[in-house]
Structure 1
Amino acid sequence: MNMKYVLEQRKITLLCLAAVALARPDRPAPAGYGYDPPTPAYAPPQPSYSAPQPSYSAPQPSYEKPKVRWHNKFLRILQEGMPFDFKYAVKDAYKGLDFDYNSDGKVVNGQYRVLLPDGRTQIVTYTTDHHNGYQAEVTYEGEAQYPEPQPYKPAPSYSAPAPAYSAPAPTYEQPKPTYGAPRN
């Protein structure tokens, strides 16, 4: 038999025996850090009061019973909105906002204007109530215009910078000849 194989088998056997010896069921459990945990010497206090008894009554309804009407074999409950009057309007020529809104408590009337991309103004006049629902009338002012698109020509957003320097002044002298007259 190969000697390496025998040595490997012995190592595996020794490791298995060590694992079995460490996992014995009759061995006592470890005691943590070597001391027994302390027993609590204090008990929480007992409450010295009794819970309060409920002293409320059921709330009384603060609304009226809805009006009931039989209509075509179906029960219809009539509920109307709260009757209050109000009115407001906004007109801002710079932003193109122009609308108003008013109510007499039963019918709401209003109007608003929308500036369309084609140059027209769309005017919506509406009325709404509990019986007829939302009723709107849409009209237009102006003619639709579709101008020919112009090619994009970006304009320069800057000018050429002015020079902040002057031409350099010469700092040298005229060269002097270093040779003499020719010899004959």
Structure 2
Amino acid sequence: MNMVFKVYVFAALVAFAAADGPPYQPPVPSYNAPAPTGPAQYTFDWNVRDDNSGNDFGHQESRDGYDTQGSYYVLLPDGRLQRVTYNVNGDSGYVAQVEHEGEAQYPTYQPSPSYQPSPSYQPTPRYG
């Protein structure tokens, strides 16, 4: 029993010594990032259209200083095209206009035949 007590005392001393270390200091970046030289200015545009999977979506945006304008679109599962046009100007916030093109289609459900597994081996008969 004396040995177990010594182990507990030793573990407590190690834990106390480890807890009394210096406070955590986060690492300092080793590079000097260049400071921005003016307001942001950019333009981008991309889209994806895959007739095999039915995916059709895209996005375009341009920004000059605090004035941002853009739009994105996506082909919805019900067949409609959803288009969102937005702008942000300073502290006005995100102002969006959402439009839908086309009529929603809901085809009737056609269940597929159920799966019937077949054995991939032929059992070997046992003779006693």
In structure 1, the partner of 2:68 is 108
In structure 2, the partner of 1:88 is 44
- Which amino acid in the other structure matches residue 85 of structure 2? T
CA RMSD of aligned residues (A): 2.5
Q: CA deviation at 1:113?
A: 0.7
Provide the secondary structure at the position in 1 that maps to 2:91.
coil
TM-score between the two structures when normalised by the length of structure 1? 0.38
Q: What is the alpha-carbon distance in structure 1 between the residues aligned to residue 114 and residue 71 of structure 2? A: 41
In structure 2, the partner of 1:126 is 86
Provide the secondary structure at the position in 2 that maps to 1:127.
strand
- Give the number of equivalent residue pairs: 79
Residue 153 (1) aligns with residue 109 (2): no
User: Can you list the C-alpha shifts for 1:31-82, whole angstroms capped at 9, x where unaligned?
Assistant: xxxxxxxxxxxxxxxxxxxxxxxxxxxxxxxxxxxxxxxxxxxxxxxxxxx5
Q: What is the alpha-carbon distance in structure 1 between the residues aligned to residue 64 and residue 114 of structure 2? A: 55
User: Can you list the C-alpha shifts for 1:3-48, whole angstroms capped at 9, x where unaligned?
Assistant: xxxxxxxxxxxxxxxxxxxxxxxxxxxxxxxxxxxxxxxxxxxxxx
Residue 135 (1) aligns with residue 91 (2): no
Query: Which segments of structure 1 move beyond 3 Å, counting only runs of 4 or more?
Result: none
Q: Report which of the two has the higher share of strand.
A: 2
- Which amino acid in the other structure matches residue 60 of structure 2? D
Provide the secondary structure at the position in 2 that maps to 1:131.
helix
Q: Report which of the two has the higher share of helix.
A: 2
Q: What is the alpha-carbon distance in structure 2 between the residues aligned to residue 100 and residue 154 of structure 1? A: 44
Provide the secondary structure at the position in 2 that maps to 1:93.
strand
- Which amino acid in the other structure matches residue 137 of structure 1? Q
Percent identity over the alignment is 38
Structure of greater Rg: 1
Question: How do residues 63-82 of structure 1 correspond to structure 2 at under 5 angstroms?
Answer: none
Provide the secondary structure at the position in 1 that maps to 2:100.
strand
Q: CA deviation at 1:119?
A: 1.0
Of structures 1 and 2, the one with the larger relative CO (CA 8 A, separation 6+) is 2
Structure 1: gaps of 5 or more residues: 1-81, 159-184
Q: What is the alpha-carbon distance in structure 1 between the residues aligned to residue 75 and residue 115 of structure 2? A: 29
Provide the secondary structure at the position in 2 that maps to 1:96.
strand
